[in-house]
Amino acid sequence: MNLFRLLVIVAIVWLSYRIYQNWKVSKQISTKKTDNDTGIKQMVQCAKCGVHLPEQEAINASGNYYCCEEHKN
Q: How far is residue 50's CA from residue 37's CA, in Å, rounded to a whole number?
A: 26
Sequence-distant (≥ 6) Cβ neighbours of residue 45 within 8 angstroms: 51, 52, 65
**How many beta carbons lie within 10 A of that of residue 71, not counting itself?**
16
pLDDT of residue 19: 95
Question: What percent of the chain has pLDDT above 90?
Answer: 42
**pLDDT one-digit tens code per residue, 16-40:** 999 999 999 888 877 666 555 556 6
Sequence-distant (≥ 6) Cβ neighbours of residue 53 within 8 angstroms: 43, 44, 46, 65, 67
